Structure 1
Amino acid sequence: MLSTRDLVYCALFAAMVAALGMVPPIPLGFLPVPVTAQTLGVMLAGILLGAKRGGIALVLFLLLVAAGLPLLAGGRGGIGVLMGPTAGFVLAWPVGAVVAGLIAERLGTGARPIPLFLAAAAGGILVVYAGGIPWLWLVAGLPLEKAAMGSLAFIPGDLIKAGVAAATAAAVRRAGVLPAHA
């Protein structure tokens, strides 16, 4: 059972992911997937809220997108977006937050940036790519090798986002702003 405080945190982090969608997406041209800031929110939700609350925050976000709210980067939303070429990445966000949260919880990361970075990267990069690359292959009709190789272009930016998430989470934890994982 979630407490009122847990529900508020989930809603707050869903709103944060939506706010990160206001950063204009950067199209790469060779893939139908733009660079966005929203995976930073996935990483932060997992490593700050923990697996359960982080996953719920991202499920809430996806429900709002499915309802048609234009919360994805570039002002996109609706069921059509969740069936398009970028959907595999987006649909993997709750799982990514759960994995980041589980790793952070298991490592007992506290305010240590390196374990927080590893948790953020595992959930926000590995898991999200594991959902997105096969989806590009199946839905966009890209050869699997091209989808995988094209996704390599995102790794430097995603590693920077994992670093920002780890530094932010470490600072938040040192300040004692959020309670321990549920």
Structure 2
Amino acid sequence: MTNTGSMSSTRSLSYIALFAAVMAVFGLIPKIDLPFGVPITLQSLGVMLVGCLLGPRRAFLSVLLFLVAVALGLPLLSGGRGGLSVFMAPSSGFLLGWLLGAPSCGWVMRRMVKAGVGADGGKLLLVSAFLSSLIGGIVVMYLFGILGLMLAAHLSFAQAGIAVLAFIPGDLFKCAICAVLVQSVVRGMPAWRLDRD
């Protein structure tokens, strides 16, 4: 392996660990509990950021690292939750949704940037990041969240779908925050590549 390849690999590992840590930091912000057992947290914003900024492969690995740490018992989820029991709770579908939602954000973001939409860091980048967050951070995550809620809380698809409607306004706001943060990173670090795998 060349020095360039080694440096690139080291940089990738650093980004994966850094963004897993960012998700953990978002977990320090108190959660809001809802009656059906799925809390409102800021960590889904972390999932959106990871996807948009790291690309699909690194985003998947970053979220996987975070979830493995949670499974090992580290209290990294909002409210200081951790351990295998969180993967049996009504919110467990959303955790799986994080694992697939982050790379979905990254895949959409990469496609849009490679197509030239927002590659210059202008207003179109805001649109690209918002749409990427919407697809990966809401559509994909909600699909798995609804399925998890159906299984854990014994709800029908319609009941689970209605229950998660409470999250939509806040998550749309998180999509907007993610778009602004992505644009800020690109403007502040022009060498940052949004078209990475």
Deviates more, 1:83-92 or 1:8-17: 83-92
Change (3 A) 1:164 1:68: same
- Looking at structure 2, the residues matched to 38 and 54 of structure 1 have their Cα atoms a distance apart, in angstroms, of 14
Read off the aligned partner of 1:53 and give its amino acid letter: R
The corresponding residue for 2:16 is 10
Inter-partner Cα distance in structure 1 for 2:162 and 2:140 = 16
What's the counterpart of residue 48 of structure 2?
A: 43
Structure 1 letter corresponding to 2:130:
F
Question: For 2:66, which of 61, 67, 75 is the aligned residue?
Answer: 61
- Assess, with a 3 A threshold, how the Cα gap between structure 1 residues 170 and 55 changes in structure 2: closer, same or farther: same
CA shift, 1:100, in A, is 0.3
CA distance in 1, matches of 2:31, 2:191: 30
Question: Which amino acid is the alignment partner of residue 130 of structure 1?
Answer: L
Deviation, 1:179, is: 2.8
Q: Deviations over 1:111-165 (max 9, x none)?
A: 3101110001111111110111011111211222111001011000000001000
Match of 1:105 in 2: 110
Which residue of the partner structure matches residue 25 of structure 1? 31
2:181 maps to 1:168:
yes
Alpha-carbon RMSD across the aligned residues, in angstroms, is: 1.4
- For residues 23 and 113 of structure 1, do their structure 2 counterparts lie closer, same or farther at Cα, with a shift above 3 Å needed? same
What amino acid is the match of 2:76? L
Q: Which secondary structure does the structure 2 equivalent of 1:80 belong to? A: helix
Q: How far apart are 1:94 and its partner, in Å?
A: 1.7
Deviant stretches of 4+, over 2 Å:
none
Measured after TM superposition, the shift of residue 47 of structure 1 is 0.3
What secondary structure, in the 3-state scheme, does the structure 2 residue paired with 1:34 have?
A: coil
Structure 1 portions without partners, runs of 5+? none
TM-score (ref. length: structure 1) = 0.95
**Count of aligned pairs:** 181
Distance 1:178 1:37 in 2: 28
What is the TM-score normalised by the length of structure 2?
A: 0.88
State the distance in 1 between where 2:65 and 2:49 align: 15
Aligned partners of 1:5 and 1:135: how far apart in 2? Answer: 35
Deviations 1:21-73 (A, max 9, x none): 111111122x2101000000000000011111111100000000010101011
Contact 2:37 2:89 in 1 (8 A): no
* 1:159 equivalent in structure 2: 172
CA radius of gyration, larger in: 2
Shift of 1:178: 6.2
User: What is the letter of the counterpart of residue 11 of structure 1?
Assistant: A
Matched AA of 2:54 = L
